[in-house]
Chains A and B, each alone.
Chain A
Amino acid sequence: MRYAYYPGCSLSSSGIEFHLSFQYVARSLGIELVEVKDWVCCGASSAHATSHLLSIALPVLNLSHAEKEGFDKLIAPCLACLSRFKGANIEMKNDPHLRKKIHEIFDYPYQGKVKVYHPLEVFLELGLDRIRARARKRLKGLRVACYYGCVLTRPPQIAQFDDVENPQSMDSIIQALGGETIDWSYKTECCGVSMTLTFSDIVLKLSNDILREAKEGGASAIIVCCPLCQANLDGRQRQIEETYQVRYGLPILYITQVMGLSFGAYPKEVGLEKLITSPKEVLGPIGLM
């Protein structure tokens, strides 16, 4: 299986371990990733807050690069990119007026042939049996909270994946690998990332709610699938502990890191040393690290 791969800005800097671990997991599952040539930023929340046309044009620019190279499937691991791409595809299909405008801007008329996926969608399409068969170590003794972030499943008409309020895709992968997941109500709450550089007090409150709920639910780690959630929950954890006078010490792991460890990767291959809250205390006793 060959996919165009759009890493996005975060995966080349603050989310580098998601990039490393996803590459590892893709290799072991036989997914071939080809990076989109000359990709540029998708505009994220700044483009759609500034100009609707721009927020469609930037994803289309990247999608047309993939289409020109003959791909019909594209993987975007960052949820901000993913949601912009899926939204652009749908609006291009349904709005002839907008399509005409976009075609005026670009020299190459994008046909809308590239379907956009999150790594989780690709994993589930492959099937849990295939993932289970690849596992060398069981995640026995690992009890985690799966946090999906805001736009993986929302809004359902754009995301078209998993249950919108109570998603199960990551839970089912962790369970297939022998781990335990908790039921909790903050799976799709927002961590506030678009305010992270401006009004960080909002981010601290929202992220604190997520960490508190996970801890109270009895999780020893949080599993995420988006580099922005990870940067907030992990990078700001010390600030949150100071502001709210609590102690969490919850490592925030990417789903691909846990899968990689189960598939037999060395900690360095999945970038465990890049995490700010060290997972050693959690993964060490169960022999994963």
Chain B
Amino acid sequence: MNIAVSKETFNLATHIQSTTGENVMFCYQCKKCTLGCPSAYRMRMKPHELMRAIQLGREEEIYWSGTIWICLSCETCNTRCPQGINILRVIDRLRERSKEVKYYNPYPAIPAFHRLFLALVERFGRIYELGLAVLVNLRMLSPFKDIDMAYPMFIRGKMKPWPHRSQGVKELQQVMERIRRLEE
């Protein structure tokens, strides 16, 4: 593969460094991140390849691969990186940025899950597990997914049929509203 390096090539890496303080240029491809990553088997672009792609500014390929959404946020790569790069923080920044850049995403269900999760938190102050599961199932067009798991939990009283509204929800809504305004 031929790679043409220009001034723009480093825009993405510079952007990551200015927003998170993490310098991906430190990565020298030792692959410790990929070898320890529990979900790397499911990624089209492995974590070390992701680091290289950021170094080379291949933003479109990064988003097309969907790697940032397959990451489980388990922090193994952060812990083992000999160069001390906080890889999860970099991935989180790319996830945040996906709202602005609008590239194709092969796994739209996962950001949709996060939106539903936060919408329910904003509504009730706490997670309403049954409601979240139902909404996510509807979003993924598989309404009866995991019903065999839900039933035994339900009869043992481990899954509440109704949401519980926290007393602190007013304050929470205020905080979330202020953050939205700050980030616009």
The chain A residues found within 8 Å of chain B, CB to CB, are 9-10, 12-16, 37-41, 43-55, 57-58, 61, 65, 83, 101, 104-106, 150-151, 154-156, 164, 189-190, 192-195, 197-200, 202, 205-206, 235-236, 238-239, 273-274, 276
Contact = CB atoms under 8 A, between A and B. Distances in A.
Given A61-B172, A154-B75, A276-B153, A14 B159 contact: yes
Interface stretch (B8-16, B27-35, B46-54, B108-116): B108-116
A197 B153 contact: no
A85 to B, nearest CB: 15
A50 B118 contact: yes
B92 A155 contact: no
5 closest A-B pairs by CB: A38-B168, A190-B74, A9-B127, A46-B117, A150-B74
Given A14-B129, A50-B118, A189-B38, A106 B175 contact: yes
Contacts of A12: 126, 160, 164
Given A39-B166, A57-B179, A190-B38, A155 B160 contact: no
8 contacts: A15-B158, A38-B167, A150-B74, A155-B75, A189-B38, A202-B70, A274-B156, A274-B157
A18 to B, nearest CB: 11
Contacts of B127: 9-10, 41, 44
B76 A276 contact: no
B178 to A, nearest CB: 5
Contact of A40 (B20, B148, B166): B166
B145 interface: yes
Interface string B77-118: 011000000100000110110000000000101110111011
B156 A200 contact: no
Nearest to B21: A95
A2 to B, nearest CB: 21
B172 A190 contact: no
Interface centre among A15, A51, A104, A151 (most CB of B within 10 A): A51
A76 B164 CA distance: 19
Contact of A235 (B39, B113, B145, B153): B153
A52 B113 CA distance: 17
Nearest to A38: B168
A154 B168 contact: no
Contacts of B172: 40, 58, 61
Nearest to B20: A52
B152 interface: yes
Contacts of B70: 199, 202
A50 B114 contact: yes
A43 B119 CA distance: 11
Nearest to A150: B74
B145 to A, nearest CB: 7
A164 B74 CA distance: 13
A16 B168 contact: no
B160 A13 contact: yes
A57 B180 CA distance: 12
Contact of B146 (A37, A200, A205): A200
Contacts of A105: 175, 178-179, 182
B158 A13 contact: yes
A254 to B, nearest CB: 13
Contacts of A190: 38-39, 72, 74, 76
Contacts of B118: 43, 46-47, 50, 54
Interface string B122-150: 00011101001100110010000110110
B153 A192 contact: no
